Amino acid sequence: MTTPSAHLAAGIDIGGTKLLGIVIDHAGHTVTVERRTTPYDNDGLVDALVELGEAIRPWDSLGIGAAGLVTHDGALRAAPNLGAVRELPLRARLEARLGHEVVVDNDATCHTVAEWRLGAARGAANAVLVTLGTGIGGGIITNGQLVKGTNGFAGEPGHMVVDPDGPQCVCGRRGCWERFASGAALARFAAEHPDHESLCAAAGKPAGARLRGEDVMVAARARNAAALDIVDTFARWTAIGLVNLTNLLDPEVVVIGGGLAGAADVITAPVQRWYTELLYSPDQRPHPRLVIAQLGEQSGALGAAMLGAGRGWAHPG
Ligand SMILES: [Zn+2]
């Protein structure tokens, strides 16, 4: 017999490389953490989630966060970073196997709920979160409510087009914001930079190496001019998207999460400078707070657990 205060909420975050499963108690404290490798096909993914769900028992509710388009009834329509996974009725298949109700939502939506309830957007009635990682995800809180949209697809800022003639996106279109303000964008800027050689040296990589976003951050911390140049370009594009979101939603706080939140020491100041410079009507409004997510790598699983537990966590009041 479980009393509400003893409710154990499980959450699993389906990441591009790993599945992270946690169980939290009613106060939000983590009581169990388990990791598995992410399979890239429908059947393999369901099997791995069932195995992980069983491994982290006991729990009273289960929420799943998945990178991709998740419908209101918990089907994963498309998942660009999960290989062959598509058109997967995840909720229905997990409920049949686990014999328990399961909630499935978009991973960035889960991050948003976690940061809103326990992290950097705590107490905000209007907030926007963007996850800057390989791509860009997002979530929106408006008037104290999580915004889901008609199909459950709201909060996909990474695919706002910021340059119709820009580079091709994983979604098949051109010039999406995530081609300019993600880890993949940093890698592209690095590959195209005329002083690639000094960039490689400052990042501690051999000349001609294929650099990743984190390599650019290493070089920027070493004050390499090419890296600082790239960071400034990246910061400007990041701010362009954040300003567009601000114009649309008028948030009191804008949260930057995802892998690049780990480079807050490098990116925060230039993003803030560009954001302030590009903000619409800056003299007529209180400027939204631009902050870094606080909950780290567990925030997706944490938010999934909260969404799975339902009222009280994900839908206060
Ligand atoms: Zn796109």
User: Could you report the per-residue pLDDT of 191-205, keeping only the tens digit for each?
Assistant: 999 999 999 999 999
Taking residues 39-45, report their average pLDDT. Answer: 96
CA separation, residue 28 to residues 25, 140, 303 (Å): 5, 21, 10
Could you tell me how far CA 135 lies from the centroid of its own chain? 8
Query: Ligand 1 center to residue 236 CA distance, Å?
Result: 19
Three-state SS at 317: coil
Query: Ligand 1 center to residue 175 CA distance, Å?
Result: 7
Instruction: Report the candidate in 48, 41, 49 with the shortest Cα–Cα distance to residue 84.
Output: 41
Three-state SS at 310: coil
Taking residues 242-271, report their average pLDDT. Answer: 96
Q: How far apart are CA 304 and CA 310, in angstroms?
A: 10
What's the full length of the chain, in residues? 317
pTM of full prediction above 0.75: yes
pLDDT range class, residue 1, cuts 50, 70, 90:
very low
Query: Ligand 1 center to residue 174 CA distance, Å?
Result: 7
Could you tell me how far CA 279 lies from the centroid of its own chain? 23
Could you tell me how far CA 93 lies from the centroid of its own chain? 25
User: Could you report the per-residue pLDDT of 118-166, keeping only the tens digit for each?
Assistant: 999 999 999 999 999 988 999 999 999 999 999 989 999 999 999 999 9
**Can you give the pLDDT at residue 170?**
86
Taking residues 14-40, report their average pLDDT. Answer: 93
- pLDDT, mean over the chain: 94
Cis link prior to 58 (omega < 30° from 0)?
yes
Query: Ligand 1 center to residue 130 CA distance, Å?
Result: 15
Query: Ligand 1 center to residue 131 CA distance, Å?
Result: 15
Q: Residue 303 in contact with residue 309, Cβ under 8 Å?
A: no
Query: Ligand 1 center to residue 114 CA distance, Å?
Result: 25
Query: Ligand 1 center to residue 180 CA distance, Å?
Result: 11
Query: Ligand 1 center to residue 62 CA distance, Å?
Result: 30
Could you tell me how far CA 231 lies from the centroid of its own chain? 20
